[in-house]
Amino acid sequence: MVALLASSARAALRSGASASFKTGAAGLTIARGKATLPDLSFDYGALEPSISGKIMEIHHKNHHNTYVTNYNNAIEQLQEAQAKNDISAQIALKPAINFNGGGHLNHSLFWENLAPKSAGGGEPPSGSLAQAIDGTYGSLDEFKNKFNTALAGIQGSGWAWLVKDKQTGQIGIRTYANQDPVVGQYQPLLGVDAWEHAYYLQYQNRKAEYFKAIWEVINWKAVEKRF
């Protein structure tokens, strides 16, 4: 566990003196050793009517930014604990790193797998990903039904993901609690945020309507790249 924490700290610091760079899949922006809030590739209002501009603005500028800030704070504390060789303090930081680092990863992936209709949002996947979805679920519509059932079944806060199993190459739908990130055996392809803050201002308790509307703004091109 300590080694794991140490490596995540190193990853967070890897950028060294470079001002900022973008990593591959997750598009995480890291500047001067700190995680930073990535810019969206579209305007806050561009996903309307599926997701309101107000939701997008608060979700990005406030919620996502808070995960970034708290992740950086946790990593700073981790470095201090490592400098003092304080193993119990390092382990105690694990939930904060998982939650806030997970929140940063998840939202960064989420923004990328969304797109306004004018930029291809909602256009069905093609190529090998489309084949994998048809082969696994029968059709894209059947996949969406299964995914929405998974989203609706989340008890509390969490995410649903289309993932690729790194061992078998198979795709599957998995749900994760709170901000638990997709790591380890599975590779995240497409994520949908099922926290109430992702839809409540527009849909209130009618979350099934949000789950239905989001397919209009899914960026399948980004999902194909991850696949």
Residue ranges for the binding site for Mn(2+)? 59, 107, 193, 197
Task: Please report whether residue 177 would count as binding other proteins according to CB under 8 A.
Answer: yes
- Which amino acid belongs to residue 116? P
Helix (H, G, I), strand (E, B) or coil at 155: coil
Residues in CB range of 35: below 8 A, 6 or more apart: 12, 28, 29, 68, 71, 72, 75, 104
111 φ/ψ sector (left φ>0, alpha ψ -120 to 50, else beta): alpha
Task: Please report whether residue 14 would count as binding other proteins according to CB under 8 A.
Answer: no
Task: Please report whether residue 63 would count as binding other proteins according to CB under 8 A.
Answer: yes
Query: Minimum CB separation from other proteins for residue 196, in Å?
Result: 4
Q: Are 164 and 227 in contact (CB under 8 A)?
A: yes
Q: Which one among 7, 20, 23, 62 touches other proteins, defined by CB under 8 A?
A: 62
In eight-state DSSP terms, residue 218 is B
Task: Please report whether residue 200 would count as binding other proteins according to CB under 8 A.
Answer: yes
Task: Please report whether residue 195 would count as binding other proteins according to CB under 8 A.
Answer: yes
Q: Which stretch binds other proteins (CB under 8 A): 6-14, 132-140, 189-197, 213-221?
A: 189-197
Interface with other proteins in residues 91-120 (CB under 8 A): 95, 99
Task: Please report whether residue 158 would count as binding other proteins according to CB under 8 A.
Answer: yes
Q: Are 175 and 140 in contact (CB under 8 A)?
A: no
Task: Please report whether residue 76 would count as binding other proteins according to CB under 8 A.
Answer: no
Q: Are 116 and 46 in contact (CB under 8 A)?
A: yes
Per the listing, tokens 């939650």 go with: 99
Q: Which stretch binds other proteins (CB under 8 A): 40-48, 59-67, 75-83, 143-151?
A: 59-67
Q: Are 107 and 63 in contact (CB under 8 A)?
A: yes
Task: Please report whether residue 209 would count as binding other proteins according to CB under 8 A.
Answer: no
Query: Minimum CB separation from other proteins for residue 183, in Å?
Result: 17
* 165 phi and psi angles, rounded to 5 deg: -75, 120
Binding site for other proteins (CB under 8 A): 58, 62-63, 66, 95, 99, 155-158, 177-179, 195-197, 200-201, 204-205
